[in-house]
């Protein structure tokens, strides 16, 4: 119908005729657009109703770009995980502690190879140019196989919008995201409806191909890109399961080692390679196509989160972890020997002789003698790489180290900056160097020796100890040598050097010191260790007893006159302790000789004292065991080589007969942390030689000074110090002698706090026989005078023969102990935890009995004072059904300590019960040791007498006091102030006048001072008399209805005045 | 002392006396010596007891602690033990249970017949039966006598499979003093002839018993093992226990070429092999030594913590496949001919 000009211009709208609205007038262009939009919407809606895959498994380019942009825009710490193991951000986040401030993003592709990773990183660099977003990228070794040589277009797609060619891509991406057909292409079958199966081959290249391989070229570009920026990047080798799919066919690991070499050659600390291809991933963790199952992905996620330095939401089982929590690590651990490369459980060595480390400990070089190779670990020390040589070709050939150079029997490497100097040749006659990727054999004019034992480097000069006992100084640059010590029969066998001196050990295990003169020749020898205690059998064999004297009150620290050394095989100067660490190899009877026969002795020449060097163990005897068949004092250390990291004094130990390489922290600290108990009441062959005396001596040296420098594979806050004070119940198990509850608690807490909170704790302990509460306190006081300030003190309570409260049973005495404890704890705001260990005690009978009532009363009092108290007895009784007995037969005289499993379960439970408290307490805290003060500065602080001491001086007629209703008193105590709230509901007949309230206050004060547990501690008292307008259903006053009628705060002087003036006097 | 009640089951017909036990890792827990009291200590403390006739579970109420426990059939407990009576383990009493009592009770009474009736606080599928045949390394720890790898493994597996999969697994352990694979297969044969039908067979091998001086002999034994397993459609796992052996020195050493050859032969024949040594070596940094001083003659057995760690790892290595193998399976016991 056509509208005439005179027709009314209006419409009925809502029952009213309204004027024509201009906007309602159809306009040809707008109508078309609306129509199109409506149609598009309709099509989109219809397409959305077509059943299809729940999600598009392969992200589009726009989705990828958006994902990276989201990460770049996220506030705070942000990590993007680029992978292809179907780990999405939700799955990963599920394993991160809930309260961790973190923005976690994941981009998961069907196959992420270096080409694709390179494209994604380029885009990330564009949107996050300052590198604030951290990266984790999986690298699949299969991508370097021969069949994987190309980078497809989809892999190399360039995300950059800075390039002209990208404009079309952006338009295309926009359309892909917004047009119906493209949006729903998966439903229409126009896109991959499911994730494509892997096209990767299941065999690995023998080695990393050259740059002609597109993926290698992309990898190099990726590494160059990463190195150019500041982005923290973790490259992850995910589990492949190849060996699991083909059991028995071991991979050589060369490809992995080559890749590690390529990455570590960058020398960029921001780029790390993490090896997660590990036996914790079992065949069952892969499906038929070689993809990780749900359980496998969960395992990968847990390990990935851990390696990224993030807190886990729960503590994993140890067997789930590729690398367990802790500052000491087994870097390589295979029981067999041979040749294999790369990982901790794949690498095999063959009779290695010598190990060296860089001063910072981020490089370890191994002389893999039997494999004719030098090998190395760098960075995070997770991969063993080739440094020089070939396992299948023994020869002396110079040239490129990893390819054509050949070694015969490399030994005793030393590092001089980046240079590695080592001995080679069947007779150890060659001196060779690896430098800038090349091996060359040194030649020089001047004295030589037929065979060399060991090397050191000083000021660029090589010191070579010859097998004939002579010592050469070789100038590798001037190609000349000089003899420092002439050869001699029965000459020197071990060498150590610092800037000023050399130490030379001879075949009789005597040690000589010679100082360098200004012209770098050596001064006269001075005998610094005479080995005077040595006694040999007629056959010339050292008597085992002299190598480790033991007996009642005999043990470390030994005087030089009291202990002998059998055979010195190596020495290292420990600068931080001005002492020499000596490897002493003990003889053994029979063949094959046990390998656990090397003892480490730290010699302090100034005081002529010998200390051990240990990692503290739960089994406190682990360093001094008796081997009856071999007539041997067995050790924790096996025959091998050692190196000491200059920066942190950590020990790198390489075994000769297994493929085992470990790194453990400062051994003096280890001694300081032990709490062994020296007692005759043991059933093992030796009385311990590592008693509390040596721990005390080590603590006097204060090895904790260096705690901040200790090697931590992953950063941890702290370390915080816990001091455990207890009796032999916390340190012994009768059939094994020393077995430490402290060590097991430390292990539990290190795992719990380490995995979940990224917190490191170190536990020191003191064990005294049948320790009383007072003994514990005295030990704490003594400790506080000279040892490391503590963040937490764990105090054992027990009821063995009523000892814990011996001579301190009176309430005032107990209160006095608490007062002293509180004063000590105040110094560094130390958290005090009491643990009831009565259940362990098994005197004449098995343990797990009820705690003595007096002990419980004191623990209740401790709880009331605000100390933490844990009493695990009842919870442990449940375990007795399976873990029995709790003690050790035969329950002979003095044998009343727990079995090893009882101590283990105790430790687990004490740690579990204290963990929540510790976690809250330690988070964000500055370690006490960083706030250390002169102990006397605390002692000079006036503390004042307790308020209770006022009472004897006051004359008061107590019969005239208002009767106090104890049920209407509420007390709070904190740091010397006792607050008492008085509810007037308990005094219905009392008038509310000031005078009456004062009378009540006097009565309350005296009642509190008479009988309150806090009275001995309180130095201030606050009394508040309140009246409530209403009460809850339990009869408790409702706080918001309280009205304060009378309130006073007293110190000792004002309280004295108040009571003198207001208390009723005797008539 | 309150731990002085011993439970004795008197069979009037045969005039035999049996102990009534719960099988736990420390195999000597039922008979410990109290030197100061000149008494044989027991697991049971003075108290009262009752038997639930439906499942022969024991209620034990202690008099001096507030403790009430419920334990499954004590003869079943006995039948599951793999104790050994060995003089090398330096405890005061030679274990009176030893290897014979479990074998005998299994054959004579078949306490496994009532496994389905056992009280389970929450329902679990099964119970499935696993038998572990091993040497003294799986049964002893020199300083404390019997300390069982098998029992610790059962605890670990029961927790893993019970908590996560609602599966119940009962491990019967049999220990042979020496003799290599042939002795283990003989023992398995005896067990299957008299004991419950099994779902899983775990065979322990170790370095100290070389087998391959006659390779054809090893092949025969493996074939016997396969045949026995097939009779019950049982899953077989063989594990290399060399790590626990510490003869004259500490443990955690490599297996000999002969041992590796035997393992390779077994692998070639399709047996499931478990080789935990390398992973265990990681733990030596904290748990040391792996054996027990003084390594006197015959003292080759692991420390209790070494046995614990080994069991934990074995459970971790076994559980995923058991998780695949057991669900939905009719326990072999139910398919045993003439069982009822």
For A939-983, give the secondary structure using H, E and C.
HCCCCCCCHHHHHHHCCCCHHHCCCCCHHHEEEEEECCEEEEEEE
The better pLDDT of the pair A148, B279 is held by B279
Yes or no, beta carbons of B293 and A618 under 8 Å apart: no
| Contact (CB<8Å) A627/B248 | yes
Q: What is the pLDDT of residue A1037?
A: 65
Q: How confident is the model at residue B269 (pLDDT cuts 50, 70, 90)?
A: very high
The nearest CA of chain A is from the CA of B263 a distance in Å of 10
A128-165: pLDDT as tens digits? 999 999 999 999 999 998 876 567 655 545 555 455 55
pLDDT of residue A405: 98
Backbone φ and ψ of A722, nearest 5°: -115, 135
Tens digits of residue pLDDT in A839-865 = 999 988 899 999 999 999 999 999 988
- Give Cβ neighbours of residue A387 (< 8 Å, ≥ 6 apart): A365, A373, A374, A375, A376, A401, A402, A420, A434
Contact A628 B295 (CB under 8 A): yes
The DSSP result for A781-806, as a single string, is HHHHHHS---SEEEEEE--GGG-TTT
| pLDDT score of A32 | 72
A466 closest CA partner among A505, A439, A494: A494
Cis ω before B22 (30° cut-off from 0) = no
**How many angstroms separate the CA of residue A1017 from the nearest CA in chain B?**
36
**Span A770-825, pLDDT tens digits:** 999 999 999 999 999 989 999 999 999 999 988 999 988 888 889 889 989 999 99
pLDDT in tens, A279-314: 999 999 999 888 899 999 999 999 999 999 999 999
**pLDDT over 70 percentage in chain A:** 88
Does the pLDDT of residue A275 top 70, yes or no? yes
ipTM above 0.90, yes or no: yes
Token pair recorded at residue A306: 């851990």
Strand A419-424: give its sheet, edge to edge: A399-400, A438-441, A430-435, A419-424, A411-416
Q: What 3-state class would DSSP assign to A1026?
A: strand
For A870-895, letters b (16+ CB in 10 Å) and e give bbbbeebbebbebbbbbbbbbbbebb
| Residue from B61, B90, B289 whose CB has the most chain A CBs within 10 Å, to mutate | B289
Q: What are phi and psi of A157, to 5 degrees?
A: -50, 135
Q: What percent of chain B has pLDDT over 90?
A: 88
What is the separation of C-alpha A530 from the centre of its chain, rounded to a whole number of angstroms?
Answer: 41
What are A582-611's pLDDT values in tens digits? 999 999 988 788 999 999 999 999 999 999
pLDDT-based confidence at residue A952 (cuts at 50, 70, 90): confident
Closest A-chain CA to B32: A889
**CB within 8 Å: B1 and A845:** yes
CB contact (8 A) between residue A617 and residue B286: yes
| Contact flag B248-A615 (C-beta cutoff 8 Å) | no
pLDDT in tens, B35-65: 999 999 999 999 999 999 999 999 999 999 9
Q: How confident is the model at residue A1 (pLDDT cuts 50, 70, 90)?
A: very low
Query: B interface mutation test: which of A846, A851, A888 has the most B CBs within 10 A?
Result: A846
Distances (CA, A) of A132 to A71, A96, A232, A236, A765: 10, 20, 8, 19, 43
Task: Say yes or no: A779 contacts chain B, CB-CB below 8 A.
Answer: no
Q: Residue A742 and residue A674: Cα distance in Å, rounded?
A: 9
Q: Which residues of B touch A881 (CB under 8 A)?
A: 22, 24, 69, 71
Per this entry, what is the length of chain B? 340
Residue B242, pLDDT score:
94
- What pLDDT digit, counting tens, does each position of A1018-1039 carry? 888 999 999 887 776 666 666 6
Mean pLDDT for chain A?
A: 89
Q: What is the pLDDT of residues A492-524, one digit of tens each?
A: 999 999 999 999 999 999 999 999 999 999 999
CB atoms within 10 A of CB B20: 22
At B226-245, the pLDDT tens digits run 999 999 999 999 999 999 99
**Which of A629, A845, A849 is the closest to B295 by Cβ?**
A629
Lowest mean pLDDT among A107-111, A379-383, A678-682, A749-753: A678-682
Tell me the average pLDDT across A420-445. Answer: 97
Residues of A in contact with B251 (CB under 8 A): none
Of residues A1045 and A244, more confidently modeled = A1045
- Partner-chain residue, chosen from B71, B264, B288, that has the shortest CB–CB distance to A619: B288
Question: Do B285 and A330 count as a contact with CB atoms less than 8 A apart?
Answer: yes
Q: Is A249 on the interface with B (CB under 8 A)?
A: no
Predicted pLDDT at A196? 63
Which of A474 and A1020 is assigned the larger pLDDT? A474
The average confidence (pLDDT) of chain B is: 93
Q: Is A626 on the interface with B (CB under 8 A)?
A: yes
CB-closest option in A596, A618, A629 to B250:
A596
Percentages helix, strand, coil for chain A, rounded to the nearest 5?
A: 30, 25, 45
Distance from CA of B109 to the nearest CA of A (A): 24
A890/B35 Cβ within 8 A? yes
Residue A730 has pLDDT above 90, yes or no: yes
In this predicted structure, the answer to whether residue A1040 has a pLDDT above a threshold of 90 is no
Best mutation target among B288, B313, B319 (most A Cβ atoms within 10 Å) is B288
Q: Do A883 and B273 touch (CB under 8 A)?
A: no
Query: How large is the average pLDDT for residues A479-504?
Result: 94
Q: Give the rounded percent of residues in chain A with a pLDDT score beyond 90.
A: 69
Going by C-alpha positions, the residue among A382, A345, A120 that lies closest to residue A237 is A382
pLDDT score of A464: 98
Cβ pair B26:A319 closer than 8 A: no
Strands A717-726 and A792-797, sheet pairing: parallel
Q: Are A459 and A476 in contact (CB under 8 A)?
A: no
Question: In the predicted model, what is the mean pLDDT of residues B310-321?
Answer: 97
Q: Would an 8 Å CB–CB cutoff place A886 in contact with chain B? A: no
The Cα A815–Cα A883 span in angstroms is 38
Asked if the Cβ–Cβ distance from B289 to A335 is below 8 Å, we say: no
Confidence bin at A14 (pLDDT 50/70/90): very low
Could A846 and B1 be called an inter-chain contact, meaning their C-beta atoms sit closer than 8 Å?
yes
Q: Which residues contact A304 (CB under 8 A, 6 or more apart)?
A: A81, A87, A92, A136, A236, A276
Token look-up 């105090």 returns A795
pLDDT score, position A22: 44
pLDDT for the residue numbered A861: 92
- Which residues make beta-bridge pairs with A655? A640
Measured between CB atoms, which of B25, B250, B282 is closest to A634? B250
Task: Kindly list the residues from chain A whose CB atom is less than 8 angstroms away from the CB atom of residue B144.
Answer: 735, 888, 899
Quickly state the pLDDT bin for A894 (edges 50, 70, 90): confident
Q: Which residue, among B284, B312, B318, would best test binding to A if mutated, counting the most A CBs under 10 Å from its CB?
A: B284
Q: Give the range among A177-191, A1028-1042, B167-181 with minimum mean pLDDT.
A: A177-191
- Give Cα A328 distance to the centre of its chain: 8
Q: Looking at beta carbons, which residues of chain B come within 8 Å of A634?
A: 249-250, 289, 293, 295
Report phi then psi at A446, rounded to 5: 115, -170
> B202-213 pLDDT, tens per residue?
999 987 776 666
Q: CA A193, CA A807: separation in Å to the nearest integer?
A: 81
pLDDT beyond 80 at A916: yes
Band (A248; pLDDT cuts 50, 70, 90): very low
At residue B200, the pLDDT reads: 98
CA distance B286 to chain A (A): 6
Contacts of residue B316 in chain A, CB cutoff 8 Å? Answer: 317, 319-320
Strands A598-604 and A579-585: antiparallel
pLDDT of B113 over the 90 cut? yes
Find the range with the poorest average confidence among A289-303, A336-350, A930-944.
A930-944
Interface probe for B, chosen from A633, A754, A884, A895 (most Cβ of B below 10 Å), is A884
Say which range, A34-43, A450-459, A509-518, A759-768, has the weakest mean pLDDT: A34-43
Are A844 and B37 within 8 A, CB to CB? Answer: yes
How, if at all, do strands A1020-1028 and A1042-1050 pair? Answer: antiparallel
In the block, tokens 């396969």 appear at B226
User: In chain B, which residues have their Cβ closer than 8 Å to the Cβ of A615?
Assistant: 285
pLDDT at A173 over 80: no
Q: Is the pLDDT of residue A15 over 50?
A: no
Average pLDDT over residues A527-552: 94
Nearest CA distance, A887 vs chain B (angstrom): 10
Alpha helix (H) residue ranges in A499-630: 544-547
pLDDT > 80? residue A199: no
| Strand ranges inside chain B, DSSP E | 8-11, 16-19, 32-34, 39-41, 47-52, 57-62, 68-71, 125-134, 140-141, 145-146, 167-175, 200-205, 235-240, 272-274
């Amino acid at each position: 119908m056509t509208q005439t000009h005179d027709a009314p211009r209006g419409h009925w709208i809502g029952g009213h005729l309204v004027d024509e609205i201009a906007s309602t007038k159809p306009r040809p262009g707008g109508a078309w657009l609306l129509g199109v939009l409506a149609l598009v919407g309709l099509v989109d809606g219809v397409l959305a109703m077509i059943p299809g895959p729940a999600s598009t498994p392969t992200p589009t380019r726009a989705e990828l770009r958006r994902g990276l942009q989201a990460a770049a825009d996220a506030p705070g710490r942000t990590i993007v995980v680029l992978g292809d193991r179907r780990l999405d951000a939700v799955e990963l986040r599920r394993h991160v502690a809930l309260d961790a401030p973190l923005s976690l993003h994941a981009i998961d592709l069907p196959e992420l190879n270096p080409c694709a990773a390179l494209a994604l990183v380029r885009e990330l660099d564009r949107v996050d140019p300052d590198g604030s977003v951290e990266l984790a990228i999986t690298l699949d070794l299969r991508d370097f196989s021969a069949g994987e040589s190309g980078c497809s277009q989809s892999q190399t797609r360039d995300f950059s919008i800075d390039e002209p060619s990208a404009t079309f891509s952006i338009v295309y991406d926009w359309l892909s995201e917004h047009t119906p057909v493209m949006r729903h292409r998966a439903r229409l079958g126009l896109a991959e409806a499911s994730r494509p199966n892997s096209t990767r081959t299941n065999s690995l290249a023998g080695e990393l191909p050259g740059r002609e391989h597109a993926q290698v070229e992309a990898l190099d570009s990726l590494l160059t890109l990463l190195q150019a920026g500041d982005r923290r990047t973790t490259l992850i080798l995910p589990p492949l399961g190849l060996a699991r799919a083909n059991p028995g066919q071991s991979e050589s690991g060369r490809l992995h080692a080559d890749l590690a070499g390529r990455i570590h050659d960058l020398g960029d600390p921001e780029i790390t390679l993490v090896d997660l291809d590990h036996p914790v991933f079992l065949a069952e963790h892969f499906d038929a196509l070689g993809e990780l199952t749900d359980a496998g992905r969960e395992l990968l996620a847990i390990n990935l989160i851990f390696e990224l330095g993030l807190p886990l939401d729960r503590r994993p089982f140890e067997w789930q972890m590729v690398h367990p929590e802790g500052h000491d690590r087994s870097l390589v651990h295979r029981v067999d020997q041979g040749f294999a490369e790369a990982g901790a459980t794949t690498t095999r060595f063959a009779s290695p002789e010598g190990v060296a480390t860089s001063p910072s400990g981020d490089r370890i070089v191994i002389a893999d003698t039997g494999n004719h190779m030098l090998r190395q670990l760098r960075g995070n020390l997770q991969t063993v790489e080739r440094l020089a040589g070939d396992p299948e070709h023994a020869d002396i050939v110079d040239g490129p180290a990893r390819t054509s150079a050949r070694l015969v029997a490399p030994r005793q490497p030393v590092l001089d900056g980046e240079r590695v100097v080592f001995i080679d040749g069947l007779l150890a006659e060659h001196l060779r160097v690896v430098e800038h990727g090349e091996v060359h054999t040194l030649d020089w004019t001047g004295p030589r020796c037929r065979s060399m034992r060991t090397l050191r480097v000083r000021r660029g000069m090589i010191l070579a100890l010859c097998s004939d006992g002579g010592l050469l100084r070789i100038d590798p640059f001037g190609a000349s040598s000089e003899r420092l010590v002439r050869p001699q029969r029965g000459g020197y066998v071990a060498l150590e050097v610092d800037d000023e001196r050399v130490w030379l050990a001879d075949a009789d295990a005597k040690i000589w010191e010679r100082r360098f003169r200004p012209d770098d020749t050596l001064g006269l020898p001075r005998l610094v260790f005479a080995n005077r205690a040595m006694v040999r059998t007629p056959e010339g064999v050292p008597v085992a007893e002299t190598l480790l004297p033991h007996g009642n009150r005999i043990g470390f620290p030994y005087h030089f006159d009291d202990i002998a050394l059998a055979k010195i095989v190596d020495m290292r100067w420990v600068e931080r302790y001005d002492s020499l660490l000596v490897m002493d190899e003990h003889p053994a009877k029979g063949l094959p000789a046990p390998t656990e026969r090397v003892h480490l002795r730290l010699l302090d020449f100034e005081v002529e004292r010998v200390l051990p060097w240990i990692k503290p163990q739960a089994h406190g005897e682990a360093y001094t065991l008796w081997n009856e068949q071999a007539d041997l004092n067995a050790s924790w250390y096996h025959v091998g080589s050692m190196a000491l990291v200059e920066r942190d004094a950590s020990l790198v130990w390489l075994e000769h007969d297994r493929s085992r390489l470990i790194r453990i922290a400062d051994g003096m600290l280890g001694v300081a942390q032990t709490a062994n108990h020296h007692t005759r009441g043991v059933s093992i062959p030796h009385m311990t030689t590592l008693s509390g005396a040596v721990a005390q001596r080590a603590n006097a040296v204060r090895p904790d000074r260096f705690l901040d420098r200790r090697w931590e594979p992953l950063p941890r806050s702290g370390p915080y110090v816990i001091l455990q004070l207890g009796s032999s119940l916390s340190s012994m198990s009768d059939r094994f002698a020393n077995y430490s509850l402290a060590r097991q608690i430390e292990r539990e807490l290190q795992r719990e706090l380490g995995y979940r909170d990224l917190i490191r704790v170190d536990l020191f302990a003191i064990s005294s026989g049948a320790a009383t509460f007072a003994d514990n306190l005295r030990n704490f006081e003594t400790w506080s005078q000279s040892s490391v300030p503590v963040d937490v003190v764990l105090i054992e309570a027990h009821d063995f023969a009523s000892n814990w409260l011996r001579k301190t049973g009176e309430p005032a005495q107990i209160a006095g102990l608490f007062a002293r404890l509180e004063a000590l704890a105040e110094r560094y705001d130390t958290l005090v935890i009491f643990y009831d260990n009565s259940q362990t005690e098994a005197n004449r009978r098995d343990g797990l009995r009820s705690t003595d009532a007096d002990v419980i009363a004191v623990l209740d009092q401790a709880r009331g004072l605000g100390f933490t108290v844990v009493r695990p007895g009842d919870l442990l009784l449940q375990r007795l059904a399976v873990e029995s007995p709790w003690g050790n037969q035969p329950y002979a005289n003095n044998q009343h300590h727990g079995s090893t499993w009882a101590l283990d379960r105790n430790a687990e439970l004490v740690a579990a019960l204290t963990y929540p408290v510790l976690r809250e307490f330690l988070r964000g805290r500055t370690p006490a040791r960083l706030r250390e003060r002169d102990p006397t500065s605390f002692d000079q602080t006036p503390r004042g007498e307790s308020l209770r001491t006022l009472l004897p001086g006051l004359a008061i007629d107590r019969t005239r006091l208002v009767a106090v209703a104890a049920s209407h008193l509420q007390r709070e105590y904190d740091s010397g102030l006792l607050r008492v709230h008085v509810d007037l509901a308990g005094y219905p007949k009392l008038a509310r006048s000031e005078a009456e309230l004062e009378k009540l206050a006097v009565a309350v004060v005296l009642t509190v001072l008479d009988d309150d547990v806090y009275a001995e501690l309180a130095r201030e008292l606050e009394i508040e008399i309140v009246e409530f307008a209403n009460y809850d259903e339990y009869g408790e006053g409702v706080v918001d209805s309280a009205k304060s009628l009378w309130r006073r705060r007293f110190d000792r002087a004002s309280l004295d005045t108040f009571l003198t003036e207001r208390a009723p006097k005797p008539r | 002392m309150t731990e002085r009640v011993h439970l004795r089951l008197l069979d009037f017909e045969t005039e035999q006396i049996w102990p009534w036990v719960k099988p736990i890792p420390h195999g000597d827990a039922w008979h410990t010596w109290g030197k100061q009291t000149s008494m044989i200590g027991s697991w049971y403390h003075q108290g009262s007891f009752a038997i639930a006739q439906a499942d022969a579970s024991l209620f034990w109420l202690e008099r001096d602690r507030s403790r009430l426990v419920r334990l499954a059939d004590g003869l079943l407990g006995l039948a599951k033990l793999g104790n050994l009576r060995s003089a090398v383990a330096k405890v005061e009493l030679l274990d009176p249970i030893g290897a014979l009592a479990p074998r005998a009770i299994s054959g004579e009474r078949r306490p496994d017949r009532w496994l389905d009736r056992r009280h389970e606080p929450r329902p679990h599928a099964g119970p499935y039966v696993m038998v572990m045949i091993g040497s003294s390394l799986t049964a002893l720890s020199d300083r404390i006598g019997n300390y069982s790898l098998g029992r610790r493994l059962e605890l670990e597996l029961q927790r893993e499979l019970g908590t996560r999969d609602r599966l119940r697994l009962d491990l019967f352990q049999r220990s042979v003093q020496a003799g290599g694979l042939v002795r283990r297969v003989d023992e398995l044969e005896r067990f299957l002839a008299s004991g419950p039908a099994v779902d899983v067979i775990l065979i322990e091998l170790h370095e100290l018993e070389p087998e391959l001086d006659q390779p054809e002999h090893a092949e025969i034994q493996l074939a016997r093992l396969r045949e026995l397993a097939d009779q019950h459609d049982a899953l077989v796992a063989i594990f290399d226990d060399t790590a626990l052996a510490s003869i004259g020195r500490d443990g955690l050493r490599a297996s000999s070429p002969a041992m590796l050859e035997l393992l390779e032969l077994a692998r070639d024949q399709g047996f499931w092999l478990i080789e935990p040594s390398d992973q265990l070596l990681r733990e030596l940094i904290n748990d040391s030594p792996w054996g027990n001083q003084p390594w006197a003659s015959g003292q080759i057995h692991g420390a209790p913590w070494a046995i614990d760690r080994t069991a934990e790892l074995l459970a971790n290595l076994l559980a995923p496949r058991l998780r695949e193998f057991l669900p939905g399976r009719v326990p072999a016991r139910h398919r045993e001919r003439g069982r009822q």
